[in-house]
Structure 1
């Protein structure tokens, strides 16, 4: 929550400073640059505790030991995977018995003899 407060504070200051400098007729580029630099200085000097709390929030969120954030779909997928019987036999080494059962669109199953003489998958003639 501290990060959100700090972000909203700085964004509000940027908008106010930009509008003020535009109103004073400083020009678009000068207003934009001043609207970024002045709120940076203000929040750095006068809002140290809020800035430190926001930094601590980000540090807790992105450290390596932080728990991952998961949405409902990921949680339901994890529940479905957990409900599978761990003793069920899965044969990962099983291969099709005949060549006709192999998918022809899969590039891993490319056979050069399936093309005519002088033909390749890249050119048609």
Structure 2
């Protein structure tokens, strides 16, 4: 959220400057460059807390520690199967059974497909 807040602040500074430079007939490219530089300077000088919060949010999203934490919380297929078997003792999972090959099922229409 902090990243998007800082992004919107920068856009809110950039757009009026860009429009002012276009009104002054500086050209679209020069207006964009000048507005970007001035918006950068303004945001660097006056929006430090928001910039620091955005940097912390980005750091926590891409850091190796955050990746490890997400990996710990990730639910795997094995966890789901284990909870299913624990909750329903009559259910068994045969991991040695291989799925049917598509050519083995060629020409077969499921019975419930035709029942309307």
Q: Taking structure 1 as the reference length, what is the TM-score of the superposition?
A: 0.58
Q: Which residue of 2 aligns with 1:90?
A: 95
Asked which structure has the greater RCO (Cα within 8 Å, sep 6+), the reply is: 2
Q: Which residue of 2 aligns with 1:5?
A: 5
Q: Which residue of 2 aligns with 1:113?
A: none
Q: Which residue of 2 aligns with 1:51?
A: 51
Q: Does 1:19 align with 2:24?
A: no
Q: CA deviation at 1:65?
A: 2.5
Counterpart secondary structure, 1:90: coil
Unaligned stretches of 5+ residues in structure 1: 69-73, 105-125
In angstroms, what is the RMSD of aligned CA positions? 3.4
For 1:63 and 1:24, locate their aligned partners in 2 and report how far apart those are by CA, in whole Å: 44
4-13 or 78-87, larger mean C-alpha shift: 78-87
Q: CA deviation at 1:20?
A: 0.8
Residues 28 and 78 of structure 1: CA distance in aligned 2, closer, same or farther (over 3 Å): farther
Counterpart secondary structure, 2:96: coil
Unaligned stretches of 5+ residues in structure 2: 87-91, 105-116
Looking at secondary structure, tell me which structure has more helix per residue: 2
Counterpart secondary structure, 2:65: coil
Residues 17 and 102 of structure 1: CA distance in aligned 2, closer, same or farther (over 3 Å): closer
Q: Number of aligned pairs?
A: 93
For 1:10 and 1:60, locate their aligned partners in 2 and report how far apart those are by CA, in whole Å: 21
Residues 81 and 39 of structure 1: CA distance in aligned 2, closer, same or farther (over 3 Å): farther
Q: Taking structure 2 as the reference length, what is the TM-score of the superposition?
A: 0.62
